[in-house]
Structure 1
Amino acid sequence: MEAPCPPAERRSPARRRNFPLGPLAAGIAMQPYAVIVDDNLESSETLAILLELEGYTAATAATLAEARARIAARRPDALILDRALPDGQGMDFVSEALSAGPMTVVMLTGTSDPGDAAEAIRRGASAYLVKPATIQQLKAVLDKAQQAARQAA
C-alpha cells in the first residue's frame, strides 16, 4: 500500500495521485472517493485538488489501464472520465467500470456532441459535462447521484 502524498508533492505535475486501498489505511474518515481518468495530468491534478476541497478523496489515472487498477484496488464512489485516452475510449469504459459495482460515472470531455452525450447516458453515465466545466457543475451532479443512491438504499 502506498501512503498519500504530502501536499507539496501532490501538487507537482510529475507525481500521480496514489492513495491507499481504503480510507482507514491512512486514517482518513469515510469520505467519498473519486477517480479522475484524464491523460492531461495538469487538469486531473487540479480537479483532484478541487474535489478534495469539496470533501472527497481523489486519485488520478492517465489511462484506462490505470483506471482499471484503481477500481480493482478500491471501487470509487465517483469516476470522472475523459472521452479520448491513450489506450482507448472513455465511452467504451463506462459499462466495464459499472460492472465493478455501483458508482457515479461522469463523462468530462472537450467534445460537445449531443449524440455522444446521449450515448454516454445510455451506457450508464450519470452525466456528460463539457470542458471547461466548473467544480460547482460537477459537484451538483455528484451530489444528485449520491442523494439518489441514498434514497434507493
Structure 2
Amino acid sequence: MTRLESPPAAPPPAKSAGTLTFIVDDEPDICALLVDTMTPFGMDARVFSKAGDMLAALSLESPDACIIDLGLPDMEGMHLINEIRKQSSVPIIVLSARSHASDRVMGLELGADDYVVKPFDPREVVARIRTVLRRTTDRSPIPSNAAEKAHFEEWVFCPQSHGLTSPKGEELFLSTGEAHLLEALLRAPKRVLTRDYLLEHGGRDDSLDRSIDVRISRLRKKLSRPNHPDIIRTVYGAGYMFTVGVDWR
C-alpha cells in the first residue's frame, strides 16, 4: 500500500537499480495509481503529500524525475517548480487539473519539462517519464568531451550537470530541455539554427506547440545582461542565433 512519506531524518537509503521518481500529490488514490503503474516498469517512487517534505528529501537524495501537482496544501505548485530549479536540474512533469494554456506556459517557463492534464492515463505518464529520462541520459546536441565547459561573457555552462554559473558566481540549474537547447546554441555560436533543429535537441513537447519559444524565453531571462540584451537573437523566418563567442575547454 502506498503511504505518504515525511523526509528522512537519517541519511537517505541506497538507491535501487531502477529509476527513482518523487511524486508530490495530496490525493492518495492518484499516487497509488501512479505507483502501481510504474512498478512493473522497474520504476521506484517516493510519495509526498506536501511540497515542503519533498524539498527536504531533495536536499538529501537525487531522484531521476519529479511528478508534481499544482494544487498542494502547503505551497503553490508553480512556486515548487521554481524552488526545485534553485537546487536541481531533475526533470519535472506537472500533473494537474488545470488545462488552460496559460498554466502550461507558466509551468514550462518556470522550468517544467512536461505537463499532463488530469484526468490522465497512468500509462501515458509512465511513457512521459521514460521520454524525459531518455533526454537526460541519451541525447546530446553534439558529442562532446565530458569534462568540457562553455565559457562566454564571464558565464560558465556545464552540459553534464546542467549547471550555469553567472558572472557573479551564482549557480543556476537548467531543466533538461533548457540545457540541451543552450548547448545546441553554444556549439554553433553566431550561426542561425532553425526551430526544427533546436526542437530536436531541446526535446519536443507535445503539451505546447511553441515549447521551443518558451524555453528560449526562459534562457533569455536567465542570461539577461544590460550590455548584451539580445544574447539569443531571433532571426525572423529562420530561427535563433547565439550572438557572442564561446570558448569550450
TM range (shorter): 0.7 to 0.9
Once the two structures are superposed, what CA deviation does each residue of 1:71-120 show, in whole Å capped at 9, x if it has no partner?
12212111100011111111111121123222110110111111000110
For 1:135, give the aligned amino acid.
P
Q: Is the 8 A contact 1:33 1:78 kept in 2?
A: yes
Match of 2:40 among 31, 42, 53: 53
Q: Distance in 2 between matches of 1:73 and 1:48?
A: 22
RMSD of aligned residue pairs (Cα, Å): 2.0
Give 3-state SS (helix, strand or coil) of 2:45's partner.
strand
CA shift at 1:138, angstroms? Answer: 1.2
CA shift at 1:139, angstroms? Answer: 2.0
For 1:34, give the aligned amino acid.
T
Q: Distance in 2 between matches of 1:64 and 1:72?
A: 13
Aligned 1:93-104 pairs, distance under 5 A: 93-104=80-91
For 2:80, give the aligned amino acid.
F
The residue aligned with 2:21 is 34
The residue aligned with 1:23 is 14
What is the number of equivalent residue pairs in this alignment? 137
Q: Higher helix share goes to which structure? A: 1
TM-score, structure 1 as length reference: 0.80
Pair 1:50–1:70, CA change in 2 (3 A): farther
Q: Distance in 2 between matches of 1:135 and 1:23?
A: 27
CA shift at 1:17, angstroms? Answer: 4.9
Match of 1:144 among 124, 131, 140: 131
Uncovered stretches (5+) of structure 1, i.e. residues with no partner: 1-10
The residue aligned with 1:4 is none
Aligned 1:39-118 pairs, distance under 5 A: 39-118=26-105
TM-score, structure 2 as length reference: 0.51
Q: Distance in 2 between matches of 1:31 and 1:89?
A: 30
Q: Is the 8 A contact 2:37 2:123 kept in 1?
A: no
Once the two structures are superposed, what CA deviation does each residue of 1:39-77 show, in whole Å capped at 9, x if it has no partner?
112211221222222211101100111111221221211
Give 3-state SS (helix, strand or coil) of 1:80's partner.
strand
Q: Is the 8 A contact 2:51 2:72 kept in 1?
A: yes
Q: Distance in 2 between matches of 1:48 and 1:59?
A: 9
Q: Is the 8 A contact 1:75 1:100 kept in 2?
A: no
For 2:40, give the aligned amino acid.
L
For 1:57, give the aligned amino acid.
D
For 1:45, give the aligned amino acid.
A
Q: Distance in 1 between matches of 2:18 and 2:85?
A: 20
